[in-house]
Amino acid sequence: MGTSTPSAGHVLQRRAAGVVAHFTSLPGPHGCGDLGPAAWQFVRWLNRAGCSLWQVLPVNPVGPGDSPYQSPSAFAGSPLLVALEPLVQAGWLAAPADPPPPSARVDYGRTTPWRWAQLQAAARGFLDRATAAEQQAFDDWCHTHSAWLPDWALFAALKDAHGGQPWWAWAPALARRDPAVLAGARQTHANAVRTHTFVQWCFDAQMAALKTHAAAHGVQLMGDLPIFVAHDSADVWARPDLYWLDDQQQPTVVAGCPPDGYSPLGQRWGNPLYRWDRMAADGYAWWMARARRALDHAHLFRIDHFRGFAGYWEIPATCSTAVGGRWAPGPGAPLFKAIEQALGGLPIVAEDLGTITPDVFALRDQLGLPGMSIVHEGLIHGAAHPFMPHHHVPHGVAYTSTHDSDTVCGWWNSAAPEQRAYAAGYLGLPPDSAGPDVAHAVLRATLASVSNTALAPLQDLLGLGREHRMNQPGTADGNWGWRFNWGQVGEDVAPRLRQLLAATGRLHAVP
Residues classed as catalytic: 304, 351, 404
Contact 506, 17 (CB under 8 A): yes
Spacing of C-alpha 18 from chain mean position = 16
**Helix, strand, coil proportions of the chain in percent (round to 5)?**
45, 10, 40
- Please say whether the dihedral angle defined by the alpha carbons of residues 224, 268, 405 and 422, taken in this order, is positive or negative: negative
Contacts of 437 (CB under 8 A, 6+ apart): 429, 463
Spacing of C-alpha 456 from chain mean position = 15
Spacing of C-alpha 508 from chain mean position = 25
Return the ∠ at Cα 408 (arms to 405 and 414), rounded to 5°.
Answer: 90
Residue 227 Ramachandran class (φ > 0 left, ψ -120 to 50 alpha, else beta): alpha
- Please say whether the dihedral angle defined by the alpha carbons of residues 485, 486, 491 and 495, taken in this order, is positive or negative: positive
How far, in Å, CA of 147 to CA of 187, rounded?
19
How far, in Å, CA of 49 to CA of 47, rounded?
5
What number of helices (H) and strands (E) belong to the chain?
Answer: 20, 12
